[in-house]
Amino acid sequence: MANSHSKSQQAAVPSTRIGRFARVAKLAGGVATGMIAEGGRRLRSGERPRARDMLLTPRNAQRVADELARMRGAAMKLGQMLSMDGGEFLPRQLADILARLRDEADYMPFEQLDRTMTDAFGEDWEAQFYGFDYQPIAAASIGQVHRTRAQDGRDIVLKVQYPGVARSIDSDIDNIAALLKLSGLVPDQIDMKPLLKDAKAQLRDEANYLKEAEHLAEFSALLADDERFVVPELLPELTTEHVLAMTYIDSEPVEVISELGQAQRDALVTAMMDLMLMEFFHLRMVQTDPNFANYRYQSSSQRMVLLDFGATRRFKAKFVNEYRRMIKAAQKGDEDRLLDAAGKLGYVVEDGSDAYRDFVLDIFDIALEPLTTDGPYDFGASDISARLTQVGASAQDFREFWHAPPSDAVFFHRKVGGMFLLAQRMQARVDLKSLAARWV
């Protein structure tokens, strides 16, 4: 749902298309100035700098991340997506800097907050709540979260959307995509149109809090009898398109799980993995945002708290079935069926070259390792990320086959990557193969 505002600062959200375009133009100008300065520095030191090296300076990458954090909305959301899912066609340096966007967001000043709340509840909106806390307890890419009490006395939180976010989704994504393309960071042969079109549709859904309210109610009902999880209760009477109201749940950041014993860590992360598999293979409805702030821990009940269902995505049966077929093929060591299923998922897997075929198989073998390993997989001792990076370095040899990944795969792999990272941070051991057997 959100991120602690402790790393954030107050900054007005540019709410008009012109204002947001101006921020992108300023960003482009700053990056260009940085390139010229870096080029001059390298020439003076006797180097012959490449444009790509001048562009990817730490200062330029930081400049991009800072500006997207100020803009919030779809611009920031696209940066978050690319940081996790662009590894196969974005330089590692940029992806690492963009990863900062998963942890920080500025929050809006009172004037903008007041305007949004007035639009939702009228001029006397403050009278409808007790002890409204003007300082947000969290801030994310699309909205910020405030604690208060409802008139019936319940502790609640209100997620308030930044002004202009919903109507600027298309232009934000187009502007940032154009900047990436012009910069040369995304190779010319990669057609990002299908992915960008899908990202726009997904973000429109995320910016509609009435849709998120439906997802919250669905998950709350689905998990009502599951003693492993806690889900906030929706307050429909206080929910609008741009303000989402739900009960407040006393909990701690998910990182505190790392201080628990091995058995507890294993059980909690196993529960999260099991939920992910159920969402994908059974419900075909996955909360795809892997931000750690979306999961918290309630020590009093020893349960996981699930927050933020805006990024919930529904998957077609064909995609889920082909993914199931790919996992089964990997578990049986059937390379031909694995490649066939991956091709039907939308990946480019065949070019008649043994070298490229081996490269693709190496990627899938490493990525699917937790699902093909017998017994508990030790995520804390795993070097999957390092091996994927090492194999990915040879992607330069197959530039003619670079392409934007399938949209469904991008969104699902965001969730998978987030869960793997959580398991790694918690040094958990999970028998993922046995969990998947129920569905695969």
What does residue 336 show for φ and ψ, rounded to 5 degrees? -65, -45
How far apart are alpha carbons 414 and 320 in whole angstroms?
16
Strands 229-230 and 303-306: parallel
Give me the amino acid identity at 266: D
The burial class, CB within 10 Å (0-12 / 13-18 / 19+), for 32 is: middle
Q: How many CA atoms are closer than 13 Å to the CA of 325, on its beta-carbon side?
A: 16
How far apart are alpha carbons 262 and 427 in whole angstroms?
8
Active site residues: 289
Token representation of residue 228: 């492993």
The owner of tokens 């293979």 is 281
The SS3 of residue 115 is: helix
* Cβ pair 139, 145 in contact under 8 A: yes
The owner of tokens 């998910």 is 254
